[in-house]
Chain A
Amino acid sequence: MTIKRIIRNLVLALLLAAAAGCATTGADGRDPFEGFNRAMYSFNDGFDNAIGKPVSTAYRDVIPGPVRGWVRNFFANIADLWNGANNLLQGKPADMVTDWARFAFNSTLGVFGINDVASDMGLEKHDEDFGQTFGRWGASDGAYIVWPFLGSSSVRDSAGLVFDLSLDPVLLHKPVRVRNAMTVLRATGKRADLLDASRILEEAALDKYVFQRDAYLQRRRNQVYDGNPPRASRETPLAEASEPAPESPTAVPAAEAPVARPDPAAIEAAVRLLEQPASPAVGTGG
C-alpha cells in the first residue's frame, strides 16, 4: 500500500514538473522537447540529490575499493555478453571475439567475473549497446530525450534501450528478490563511479542541462564511430553543425578502422585462447 502511494506521488510529481517545464520552449533543433526534458532533468537531479548521491557516497565510503571493484567487474562481465552480440551486429567480428573471450576468461579464471583478468591479458573492454548498433546502421540520434531515472537519451537510443533492458540478464534474473537486489547494487555502483564526474560537471557548466545534453550527444556520436568520428567544425555551435549524412555501415568502419582497432596480437591471442575454455564459461554467468 505504501509502495502504491509512493508511485502515485511520483507520477503526480512528474506530471507537475512536466507541466511547469512546458512553459519554456527551446530553440535548439536537436532538442524540440526542451521544456519537458528540463522538467525531467530537474526531477532526476532532485532524486539524485535526495537518494542517488547520498546512497552512492555512503557505498563508496563504507565498502572498500577492492570490493567495489569486484562488484563493478561482476556486472561488467555480464554486460560483455551483449557487447559481443552488438559488435557482431555492427560488423565487427574481431571485437565480438574479444568480448566473448573476455567473458570466458573472467567468468572462469576471474571467478564469476569479479576479477578482470582479461584486461591484464590485453583483451580490451568495449562498451556497446543497441543504440550504438542502430547508429552504426545509419540511424541518426533524433530528438534528445531525458527519461525519469534513466536520464539522457535520444529517440534512437531509447529504441536501443528497449532492447537493452528487455534482454538484460540482470533484469531477467529470477527470483525477483535477487533481481531487485542486483539491480540496486549495480545502479549504486555505477552512480558511485560517477561521483567525481558529476562533481566536475557541476563545476564546469554554466547551464548544467545544456552542458550535459551536449556532452551526451557528443559522447554517443563518438561511441557510434568507435572513437573516430569525422572532425567537427571549430566554430559552429553543435546544434547547427550539419551532421554528415550517415555513410553505409560498412564504409564507416573501413575508413576509420586503423586507430579504433584493438591490438591485432590481442585478437589473435583471444581467438587462440577462446577455443579452449569456452564451454565451461557459459554455465557460470549467473
Chain B
Amino acid sequence: MFPMFVRFATVVATMAFIVAGGARAQAQAEIQAPDLLVKNVTLEVVDIILKDKDIQKGDRKKVIALIEAKVLPHFNFQAMTSSAVGRNWDKASADQKTRLIDEFKTLLVRTYSSALASYSNQKFDFRPLRAKPTDTDVTVNVRIMQSGSQPVTIDYDMEKRPGGWKVWDVRVGGISLVANYRTEFDNLIRESGIDGLIKALVAKNDSQGQSTVAGTQKK
C-alpha cells in the first residue's frame, strides 16, 4: 500500500513538473528575451539597409518605412513621451497627451532614420544581458566598434509588458535621449504651456520634412 502510494505520488509530481515546464517554455517562446530581440531586430534592419539600393542612395522615406515596420513595434512611446515631459505630464489633457506622443514619435523616427542612414558597415558587439530571469526592467547593451576610437555604447532601457519587451529609453554614449529632451520640454512648457510645446514639435517636424525633401532632391 505505502510503496504504491509513493509511486503514484512520484508519477503525479513528475507529470505536474512536465506540464509546468511545458507551460513555462511556451510562455518564453511567446515573449522573446530582450537581448535577443535587440540583436535580431538590429541585424535584420542593418541587413536590409546594406542591401537596399534606394536607401544607399539616400531615400529617407524608405528608411522611415523600414523603421516603422521593424523597430517601432518594440518601442513604448507613451512611456518615452511621459518621461521626457516629466512632471508636467499629469497636467496635460488626454488629447494633449495623444498629440505629444504623436509628434515626439515623428521627431524620434526622423532622428533615428538619419542616424541609420549614416550607418556604414560598422561591427556590433552585443553584450550578454546582466539580469535575472525574473527582472521586468533591464538594460540591453550594444556597442559599435570602430577602429581608432573607443566603442560607442548604445543602451536600451527595456520594460516587460504584456505584449513583450518594450524600449522606453535609448542611451547613446551615455546620453539618454529621453532625459536630453526633458530640459527642452520643461523650458518650452514654462514659457508657453503644453500647447506651446506641441506647437514647437509640430513646427520642428514640418521644417524637418521639408529639409528632407530638399535634401533628397539635391541628390
Given A69-B148, A200-B118, A236-B182, 17 more pairs with CB closer than 8 A: A72-B148, A73-B147, A124-B151, A125-B149, A125-B150, A199-B114, A203-B208, A206-B200, A210-B184, A211-B181, A215-B175, A219-B173, A221-B174, A222-B173, A229-B174, A232-B176, A235-B182
- Is there an interface contact between A211 and B150, defined as CB atoms closer than 8 Å? no
**Binary B-proximity of A185-221 (CB < 8 A = 1, otherwise 0):** 0000000010010011001111100110011001101
Give A contacts to B, CB under 8 Å: 28, 69, 72-73, 76, 116, 119-120, 124-127, 193, 196, 199-200, 203-207, 210-211, 214-215, 218-219, 221-223, 227, 229, 232, 234-239, 258-259
- Are A196 and B175 in contact, with the CB atoms below 8 A? no
Complex partner residue of A237 from B114, B147, B183, B200, CB under 8 angstroms: B183
Evaluate contact between A222 and B174: CB separation under 8 angstroms: yes
Query: Complex: how many Å from CA A81 to CA B186?
Result: 42
Quick check: A238 and B174 within 8 Å, CB to CB?
no
Residues of B within 8 A of A200 (CB): 111, 114-115, 118
Q: Which of B86, B147, B186, B200 has the most CB of A within 10 A?
A: B147
Contacts of B187 in A (CB 8 A): 207, 210
Q: Which of the listed residues A69, A196, A210, A237 has the most CB atoms from chain B within 10 Å of its own CB? A: A237
The interface residues of chain B lying within 8 Å CB-to-CB of A193 are: 149
Q: B148, A125: Cβ atoms under 8 Å?
A: yes
Q: Is the beta-carbon distance between A211 and B184 smaller than 8 angstroms?
A: yes
Task: Please give, as numbers and ranges, the residues of chain A lying within 8 Å of B181 by CB-CB distance.
Answer: 206, 211
* B interface size (C-beta, 8 A): 40
Residue B110 interfacial (CB < 8 Å): yes
Name B152-203 residues within 8 Å CB distance of A: 153, 169, 171, 173-176, 178-184, 186-188, 200-201
Q: Please, how many angstroms separate the alpha-carbon atoms of A69 and B87 in the complex?
A: 45
Closest 10 A/B residue pairs (Cβ): A222-B174, A196-B118, A73-B148, A204-B111, A127-B150, A116-B147, A235-B86, A76-B148, A72-B148, A218-B175
Q: Given A126-B150, A204-B107, A218-B174, are A238 and B184 neighbors across the interface (CB < 8 Å)?
A: no
Chain B contact residues, majority secondary structure: helix
| Other-chain residue from B111, B180, B182 in contact with A215 (beta carbon distance below 8 A) | B180
Expressed in whole angstroms, the minimum distance between the Cβ of B196 and any Cβ of chain A is 11
User: In the assembly, what is the distance between CA of A229 and CA of B174, in Å?
Assistant: 8
Question: How far is B144's CA from A124's CA once the two chains are assembled, in angstroms?
Answer: 12
Find chain B residues with CB under 8 A from A229 CB: 174
Q: CA–CA, A232 to B151, complex, Å? A: 23
Contact A236 B148 (CB under 8 A): no
A222 close to B175 (CB less than 8 A) = yes
A227 pairs with B182, CB closer than 8 A: no
